[in-house]
Structure 1
Amino acid sequence: MTQYLDQYEQRVSEAVDSLWDALVDPREAYLDDEGVWWNNLSGAGAGFVRAGLPYLSEDQLAEVRLECRRLVATNEFAINGVENRISYIVGSGHVYRAVLRDDSPSGQELLGEVQTLLNEFLQVNAWHARQQEIVRRMDRDGEAFLRFFVDAAGMTRVRFVEPEQVATPKELSQHPEASFGVHTEANDVETALGYYIDGHPVEAVHIQHRKANVDANVKRGLPLYFPVRKNLRRVEKLLRNMSAVAEIQSAIALIRKHRSALRNGVESFVSDGGVGGTFSQATGRLRHLAQYAPGTILDAPAGLEYDFPAAGVNASNYVTVLQAELRAIAARLVMPEFMFTSDASNANYSSTLVAEGPAVKMFERLQASLRNDDLLVMWRVVENAAAAGRLPRDVRQRVEIQITLPSLHVRDQLREVQVEKIAFEKGILSPQTWSQRLGLDYDQEQKNLGMHGSGE
Structure 2
Amino acid sequence: MSESTRRPLEGRLERLEKRLLEAFEGLWGDYVDPRDAFSGEDGDWWAPVGFARGAGAGGPFTLPQLTDLRQECRQLALTNEFAINGHENRISYIVGSGHLYHATIRKGIEAPIALAQQVQEIVDEFQEANDWHERQQEIVRRLDRDGEVFLRYFDDGRGGARVRFVEPEQVAPLRDLPLDSPASHGVLTDADDVETVLGYYVDGELIDAREIQQRKANVDRNVKRGLPLYTAVRSNLRRAEKLLRNMSVVAEIQSAIALIRKHRSATRSGVEQFVADRSVASRLDGAGRTRRVTEYGPGTILDAPAGLEYEFPATGIDAGSYVTILQAELRAIAARLVMPEFMFTSDASNASYSSTMIAEGPAVKMFGRLQASMIEQDRRVFAVAIGNAVRYGRLPAAALDAVDLQVTAPTLQTRDRASEAQADEVAYRNGVLSTQTWSQRLGLDYDQEQKNRRLHAIDRQPEDS
| Bin of the TM-score, shorter chain as denominator length | 0.7 to 0.9
Q: CA deviation at 1:432?
A: 1.1
Greater Rg by CA: 2
Match of 1:262 among 267, 282, 298: 267
Check whether the contact 1:153–1:390 (CA below 8 A) recurs between aligned residues.
no
Q: TM-score of the superposition, structure 1-length normalised? A: 0.85
- SS across alignment from 1:401: strand
> In structure 2, what is the Cα distance between the partners aligned to 1:177 and 1:287?
73
Q: Is residue 96 of structure 2 the alignment partner of residue 91 of structure 1?
A: yes
Q: Match of 1:324, as an amino acid?
A: A
Relative distance call for 1:439 and 1:250 in structure 2 (3 A) is same
- SS across alignment from 2:183: helix
Q: CA deviation at 1:221?
A: 0.5
Match of 1:312 among 308, 316, 331: 316
> In structure 2, what is the Cα distance between the partners aligned to 1:111 and 1:205?
25
Of 213-222 and 259-268, the range deviating more from structure 2: 259-268
Q: 1:123: which partner in 2?
A: 128
Q: 2:117: which partner in 1?
A: 112
Q: 1:386: which partner in 2?
A: 390
Q: 1:429: which partner in 2?
A: 433
> In structure 2, what is the Cα distance between the partners aligned to 1:212 and 1:168?
21
- Which digits, 9 at most, give the CA deviation of each residue in 1:311-360, with x for residues without a partner? 11111111111111110000000000111111101101100000000000
- Which digits, 9 at most, give the CA deviation of each residue in 1:403-422, with x for residues without a partner? 01111000001111122122
Relative distance call for 1:334 and 1:70 in structure 2 (3 A) is same
Q: CA deviation at 1:91?
A: 0.8
Is there any run of 5+ residues in structure 2 with no aligned partner, and where?
Answer: 1-50
Q: CA deviation at 1:154?
A: 1.4
Q: CA deviation at 1:291?
A: 1.7
Match of 1:410 among 399, 410, 414: 414
Relative distance call for 1:178 and 1:296 in structure 2 (3 A) is same
- Which digits, 9 at most, give the CA deviation of each residue in 1:108-148, with x for residues without a partner? 22222101000000000010000000000011001111000
- SS across alignment from 2:339: coil
Check whether the contact 2:59–2:223 (CA below 8 A) recurs between aligned residues.
no
Q: 2:161: which partner in 1?
A: 156
Check whether the contact 1:48–1:217 (CA below 8 A) recurs between aligned residues.
no
Check whether the contact 2:56–2:180 (CA below 8 A) recurs between aligned residues.
no
Match of 1:165 among 166, 170, 179: 170
Q: 1:343: which partner in 2?
A: 347
Q: Is residue 448 of structure 2 the alignment partner of residue 441 of structure 1?
A: no
Q: 1:232: which partner in 2?
A: 237
- Give the total of aligned pairs: 410
- SS across alignment from 1:335: coil
> In structure 2, what is the Cα distance between the partners aligned to 1:281 and 1:135?
49
Q: Match of 1:349, as an amino acid?
A: Y
> In structure 2, what is the Cα distance between the partners aligned to 1:54 and 1:228?
19
Match of 2:208 among 188, 203, 226: 203
> In structure 2, what is the Cα distance between the partners aligned to 1:86 and 1:131?
9
Match of 2:301 among 297, 302, 312: 297
Check whether the contact 1:48–1:218 (CA below 8 A) recurs between aligned residues.
no
Q: 2:277: which partner in 1?
A: 272
Q: Is residue 222 of structure 2 the alignment partner of residue 220 of structure 1?
A: no
Q: CA deviation at 1:55?
A: 5.0
In the TM superposition, 1:35-184 aligns within 5 A as 50=55, 55-101=60-106, 107-170=112-175, 176-184=181-189
In the TM superposition, 1:345-360 aligns within 5 A as 345-360=349-364
Check whether the contact 1:49–1:56 (CA below 8 A) recurs between aligned residues.
no
> In structure 1, what is the Cα distance between the partners aligned to 2:273 and 2:107?
100
Is there any run of 5+ residues in structure 1 with no aligned partner, and where?
Answer: 1-45
Instruction: State the superposition RMSD in angstroms.
Output: 2.2
Relative distance call for 1:174 and 1:141 in structure 2 (3 A) is closer
Q: Match of 2:81, as an amino acid?
A: E
> In structure 2, what is the Cα distance between the partners aligned to 1:293 and 1:439?
59
Q: Match of 1:430, as an amino acid?
A: S
Q: CA deviation at 1:190?
A: 1.0
**Percent of counterpart pairs with the same letter?**
61
Q: CA deviation at 1:258?
A: 1.1
